Amino acid sequence: MPAKKKIYLDYNASTPVDPRVVKEMLPYFTEKFGNLSSDHAFGWDAAEAVENSREQISRLANCKPTELTYTSGATEAANLALFGFCQKNKNKGDHIISCKTEHKAILDTLGALENRGFKITYLNVDGDGNIDLKELENSITAETILVCLMLANNETGFIHPLKKIAQITHAKNVCIMSDITQAVGKIPIDLKDLNIDMAIFSSHKIYGPKGVGALYISKKNKIHLDPHEFGGGQERGLRPGTLNVPAIVGFGKAAEIVFFEMNSDSRRLLELRNKLETLLLKIEGAEINSKEANRLPNTTNISFKNIEGSQIFRRLNMLAVSRGSACTANTVQPSHVLLAMGVTGEQALASLRISLGKLTSLEDIEFAVAEITKTIEQLKTATA
């Protein structure tokens, strides 16, 4: 009997690299291996490839190529942005506003800034994940230098009204940065229209390789950062060190593919996601988190009442789903996102994040529903 296939439903954690991306990257490991800082044909080839990728990525996000700085991922970009901005602007104030439901890449960096004397206000959210825009406005003081709010939440898919938030923030002469990592490649992104000052995102969420990402810094809004890494002056001195050309080429190609295929992929995934939710909601005690909110088309977060959370994961071994963000998945703590939304600790532990992607089929969804339904029913009878 052939071994049963494991079903991957954790695309918000990471995506497989698209074979077209791999093909584009391969020559840059071997014949086109030059260091882009070298002033000869090998270096020029590498430099051209890096700039070509910058164009491809900027097209996806609707910004200028010169507004993008390559990093090793969204986490490094968050560190460069937050530390660089706060250091540069510390004479203007020491207060930052963020939200309880941000990713650890932001929360932990803000925590490090707090240890260095900055004051952080973490906005509350309602049961769907919405911040109160009045609370945001009222939290801005004369000392506030930055608002930091993600576009789409990695656990629930909740989408913040970022353009409106940027308007409120700018009206008070405060800058805004956004973690757009989960939104890129799933919904159209127009950085020019959003009019935010800084943004961070990552290649491995859009079928590109791991270990490469980008920091967007608005030229129009004249944002400047103090450098926090030092070396050979690459990336205008903000992120020095020899660039990972194959990964950057892959990031660019992934961005190009996503630019053309996102709309049809997202439509298909939304249909699958809706089907998944309809079927899962037939389980007694099942509740979709952020159900009524504007959400990413590929993400569902579902909680089950009166079930011991740790048991669900032990039994669901044919499915790769997540109980929280992947970065904190090794520590079995209730999700800070769900807790902030008012979900009880017990119910948060009995929650699944299911995120669909390019390779997800209807059969995968049907299999997942059957496995989850069976598991929950077994756990109910075990505890009855």
Element (H, E) at 99: strand 95-99
Judged by CB, which is closer to ligand PLP: 179, or 364? 179
CA 357/CA 37 separation, integer angstroms? 37
Sole binder of ligand PLP in the list 15, 58, 69, 154 (CB under 6 A): 154
Q: Could you give the C-alpha distances from 281 to 90, 166, 317, 349, in angstroms and in order?
A: 49, 36, 21, 18
Closest approach of ligand PLP to the CB of residue 74, in Å = 3
Phi, psi (degrees; rounded to nearest 5) at 354 = -115, 120
Sole binder of ligand PLP in the list 105, 176, 319, 365 (CB under 6 A): 105
Sole binder of ligand PLP in the list 156, 182, 234, 360 (CB under 6 A): 182
Kindly identify the residues of this chain, within the stretch 162-181, that bind ligand PLP according to CB under 6 A: 179, 181
Judged by CB, which is closer to ligand PLP: 298, or 375? 298
**Dihedral Cα 290, 327, 243, 18, nearest 10 deg:** -60
Judged by CB, which is closer to ligand PLP: 318, or 327? 327
Closest approach of ligand PLP to the CB of residue 182, in Å = 5
Q: How many residues bind ligand PLP (CB under 6 A)?
A: 15
Sole binder of ligand PLP in the list 54, 95, 103, 186 (CB under 6 A): 103
98 in contact with ligand PLP (CB under 6 A): no
Judged by CB, which is closer to ligand PLP: 148, or 286? 148
Closest approach of ligand PLP to the CB of residue 42, in Å = 28
Judged by CB, which is closer to ligand PLP: 305, or 358? 358
- The neighbouring-strand residues paired with 146 are 96, 175
| Per-residue contact flags (x/-) with ligand PLP for residues 306 to 335, judged by CB under 6 A | -------------------xxx--------
Shortest Cβ contact with ligand PLP: which residue? Answer: 73
Judged by CB, which is closer to ligand PLP: 70, or 304? 70
Element (H, E) at 10: none
Closest approach of ligand PLP to the CB of residue 78, in Å = 7
148 is catalytic: no
Closest approach of ligand PLP to the CB of residue 104, in Å = 8
Kindly identify the residues of this chain, within the stretch 55-84, that bind ligand PLP according to CB under 6 A: 73-75
How many C-beta neighbours within 10 Å does residue 374 have?
12
Strands ordered across the beta sheet of 68-71: 68-71, 213-217, 198-202, 175-179, 144-148, 95-99, 119-123
Q: Could you give the C-alpha distances from 193 to 2, 196, 232, 345, in angstroms and in order?
A: 51, 8, 34, 39
Closest approach of ligand PLP to the CB of residue 213, in Å = 5
| Per-residue contact flags (x/-) with ligand PLP for residues 201 to 240, judged by CB under 6 A | -x----------x---------------------------
Q: At what angle do helices 104-115 and 74-89 cross, to 10 degrees?
A: 30
Q: Could you give the C-alpha distances from 287 to 59, 111, 279, 314, 322, in angstroms and in order?
A: 38, 32, 12, 21, 16
C-alpha closest to that of 205 among 357, 23, 52, 25? 357
CA 30/CA 52 separation, integer angstroms? 19
Judged by CB, which is closer to ligand PLP: 182, or 347? 182
Closest approach of ligand PLP to the CB of residue 55, in Å = 21
Element (H, E) at 231: none
CA 234/CA 322 separation, integer angstroms? 37
Q: How does DSSP classify residue 240?
A: -
Cα 112 from chain centroid?
A: 20
Site of interaction with ligand PLP (CB under 6 A): 73-75, 103, 105, 150, 154, 179, 181-182, 202, 213, 325-327
Q: Which residues are catalytic?
A: 327
